[in-house]
């Protein structure tokens, strides 16, 4: 295993995180043991963050002590890998659908750095009092108003932002690249500093990762 980013390892074209909860699988991912450490394969077809890394993204945005606000946590597939990396940090994981939230609670019960929050990311006033010193805003909500949701939440964070844009959720008939550029222009007009717009296809079709500095 070669460490390519803090807590993220690569071997033969696949990426892994070292499990914070050895012996348990979160979403049926493959595990590999090496030198007494259990590594969980990070599947780019199940997690846009894994796709982003496999597309060559090499910024160390997630570190051992990262404090992350994660919007659209679902049952915790990606959250579980962030939890492996940010061992001394915390992930405030917001999800509004009851079914995945139940699985997220079960995941959080096994790991000490996940705080599950049942809530709508459009109504941050309901969870913002729970947060402190957040340095990364990660959003993956697949909603038509995903840019507005990001704009609302950006004020809670100082550091970086990763917005996983699902272009088809904004406009199902327009070309995904055109949608991503229009959304990026809208975010910029509203004061967001975009550093990069990365096409996640073919791993995650019709998705773009927007990499943002939040000052």
Q: How far apart are CA 111 and CA 115, in angstroms?
A: 9
Number of neighbours of residue 114 by Cβ within 10 angstroms:
25
- In terms of CB distance, is 34 or 99 closer to ligand SAM? 99
The residue written with tokens 């909860």 in the block is: 21
Q: Which of 61, 12, 66 is nearest to 34 (CA)?
A: 12
- In terms of CB distance, is 37 or 149 closer to ligand SAM? 149
- On the 0-12 / 13-18 / 19+ scale of CB atoms within 10 A, 30 is exposed
Q: Are 117 and 93 in contact (CB under 8 A)?
A: yes
Binding residues with ligand SAM: total (CB under 6 A): 17
- In terms of CB distance, is 32 or 118 closer to ligand SAM? 118
100 counts as binding ligand SAM under rule CB under 6 A: yes
Q: Of 31-39, 69-77, 126-134, 152-160, which segment contacts ligand SAM by CB under 6 A? A: 69-77
Binding mask 118-157 for ligand SAM (x = CB under 6 A): --xxx-----------------xxxx--------------
Among 25, 45, 64, 97, which residue sits at the site for ligand SAM (rule: CB under 6 A)? 97
Among 95, 183, 204, 206, which residue sits at the site for ligand SAM (rule: CB under 6 A)? 95
CA dihedral of residues 62, 78, 143, 69 (deg, nearest 10): -40
- In terms of CB distance, is 110 or 193 closer to ligand SAM? 110
84 counts as binding ligand SAM under rule CB under 6 A: no
Q: Are 74 and 104 in contact (CB under 8 A)?
A: yes
């Amino acid at each position: 295993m070669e460490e390519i980013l803090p807590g993220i390892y690569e071997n033969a074209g696949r990426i892994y995180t070292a499990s914070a909860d050895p012996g348990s699988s979160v979403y049926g991912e493959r595990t590999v043991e090496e030198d007494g450490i259990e590594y969980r394969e990070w599947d780019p077809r199940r997690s846009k963050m894994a796709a982003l890394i496999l597309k060559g993204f090499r910024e160390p945005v997630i570190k051992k002590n990262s404090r992350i606000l994660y919007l659209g946590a679902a049952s915790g597939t990606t959250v579980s890998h962030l939890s492996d990396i940010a061992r001394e940090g915390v992930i405030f994981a917001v999800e509004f659908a009851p079914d995945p939230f139940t699985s997220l609670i079960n995941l959080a019960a096994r790991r000490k750095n996940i705080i599950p929050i049942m809530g709508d990311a459009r109504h941050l006033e309901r969870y913002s009092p729970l947060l402190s010193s957040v340095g990364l805003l990660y959003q993956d909500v697949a909603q038509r108003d995903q840019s507005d949701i990001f704009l609302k939440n950006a004020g809670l964070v100082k550091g970086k932002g990763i917005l996983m844009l699902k272009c088809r959720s904004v406009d199902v008939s327009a070309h995904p690249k055109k949608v991503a550029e229009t959304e990026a222009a809208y975010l910029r007009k509203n004061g967001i500093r975009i550093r990069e717009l990365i096409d996640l296809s073919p791993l995650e079709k019709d998705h773009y990762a927007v990499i943002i500095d939040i000052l």
